[in-house]
Amino acid sequence: MKWLDWAIVAAYLAYVIFDGIRLSKHSKTKEGFFLADRGLPWWAVGLSVMATQMSAITLVGTTGQAYSDGMRFIQFYYGLPFAMIILCVTVVPFFSRAQVFTAYEYLERRFDVRVRSLTSFFFLISRGLGVGTIISAPAIVLSIVFGWNLIATIFAIGLSTTLYTMFGGVRAVTWTDVKQMVIIFIGLGVAFYVIVSSFPPGVSMADGLHLAGSLGKLDMVDTSFDLTEKYTIWSGLIGGMFLALGYFGCDQSQVQRFLTAKSVDQGRTSLLMSAFLKIPMQFFILLIGIMVFVFYQFHTPPLIFNPNEAAKVSQTAEYKAVEQRFADAHSARRDAALAFDAANDAARANYVDANKRFSEVRKEAVELVRSSGNRSFNDVNYVFPTFILQNMPIGIIGLLIAAIFAAAMSSISSELNALATATTIDFYRRLYRPEGTDPHLILVGRIATFIWGIFACIVAIFATNLGSLIEVVNRFGSFFYGSLLGVFVLAFAVRRANARGAFAGLLFGISSVWVASLYTNIEFLWFNVIGCVVTVIAGYLVSLTSKRDVNRGDAETQSI
């Protein structure tokens, strides 16, 4: 990186931290610190909803996912609009009128404090794991840029974001999210333009899409109904919808977003904004990954995108032999790509065959790295950062690194604030200090933010080698979201459900997902369906075997 790139990144980070702390003056009450006095406009809430979901994982992991696996991942989002419409009709008006701080407060009214505490506990575990994965994405970038130790980089990023989240509260988080989304959109647009303009003379974007299409990388619909296939239209429409219902309707990090809106209608509009912009935005990010793949058809890519791992084996005779075969394979693939003609079957077949040989050599290199001691090695998350640093012009590198930071910090801050809110409201205030004053609860919220920031940094250390980060974070969530959703289905829709049934149902649901993950080959999106269905059925059956609670929860359910 040149001095201009450093200046852009430094100026951005300084501004974000300063602005977040500046907004702390509006967070003097618990309502202001945790819910921004329920007074934010719909468009700010909508952008914050998108920013919370679109972390650096989206920029780093999704582009790398598209580079290696094509556009199939887009099917993951096909159920999102349906989930958002359902939530707008049901959950948004319900929680807004209930005047709760957390989604789990209502569960005590409907059932009892045990159900509220257990549900909130599982949220804390799932989000704590998720935010750790989110931190790992920008840490990967910085460890490459600065040559820093990865662990030190993780703590530098995690704790710097924790700082402004501790002081500013949800208002600072939301308005920072808005500004960061602007940086992200600008950065993505510039990246796309630079990539396409770097194609060889005579090679257009359409030519690049034909190349990618000949390898199946543009396939966006798989109609096979196979529970062991990760991305199909059915796993997206059904499993993805259940995941979105659980995430946006039961996860405090998202519920807290629309609880800050000025009204029920503005809360609904904020979710609908995300529902209908998310798929086009995700399509565009995946398309950038495809364009990076096309770029490397004509320019020599790194044999291993993770430079630290490559350095460990680069001096061995085996690696040097693979490196020579890799150069030959790339040269053959480049010539085949330049001669490619979508209407010429022989030219298509020649290119496909050349790419196959190229991929086989690269697999040899990956296996060589794994055999050196890192059995979990996977460099898909290093593709886009390495591309940026090696191929972008001065100034643009700084802008894109800032965009990755923006995506990371927006999600990290939102998740940390939600974790602090649930910890303070659902556990500390409810179980230890129900009479706590606003200044005292704000202090506890800030301490909780710091503790969760440390926890997330520890998780991030282990997340970097688990594969595509966009898959890792959603896999973590899928272990919990279906079961959390099942508890709220029992609360909202099953009148015979009682506290004992809801508590047992949640435990059965979580257990069923773990059993499915350990003893079957079912892919993770279906875990959301399994967890929800098992929770509802088990909760209902246990409720039938015990005396039904006719208590304040039923009366409050009817009055809200």
pLDDT band at 553 (very low <50, low <70, confident <90, very high): very low
The residue type of 241 is: M
133 Cβ contact partners less than 8 Å away, ≥ 6 residues apart: 57, 459, 460, 463, 466, 469, 472, 473, 476
Return the pLDDT at 468. Answer: 60
| pLDDT tens digit sequence for 42-77 | 778 877 777 766 666 677 778 888 998 889 889 888
Task: Kindly give the interhelix angle for 113-146 and 150-197, rounded to the nearest 10 degrees.
Answer: 70
Q: What percentage of residues in the chain have a pLDDT greater than 90?
A: 27
* Residue 277 · residue 84 · CB < 8 Å: no
What is the band of 286 on the pLDDT scale with cuts at 50, 70, 90?
A: very high
State pLDDT tens for residues 83-131: 989 998 888 888 877 777 888 888 998 899 999 999 999 999 888 888 8
| Residue spans per domain, the chain | 3-296+390-467, 321-371
Within 10 A of 66 (CB to CB), how many other CB atoms are there?
A: 28
Q: Which residue has the higher pLDDT, 546 or 552?
A: 546
Structure pTM? 0.81
Say what the pLDDT of residue 548 is. 54
Cα 472 from Cα 478, distance rounded (Å): 10
Percent of the chain with pLDDT over 70: 90
Please report the pLDDT score of residue 555 as a whole number. 41
Please give the angle made by the CA atoms of 72, 77 and 78, to the nearest 5 degrees.
90
**In terms of pLDDT, which residue wins out, 295 or 134?**
295
> Which pLDDT belongs to residue 341?
82
Q: Which CATH class is domain 3-296+390-467?
A: mainly alpha
Tell me the mean pLDDT in the region 241-245: 91
CA distances from 277 to 46, 266, 443, 469 (A): 10, 17, 37, 22
Q: Is pLDDT at 472 greater than 50 in this prediction? A: yes
pLDDT at 451: 93
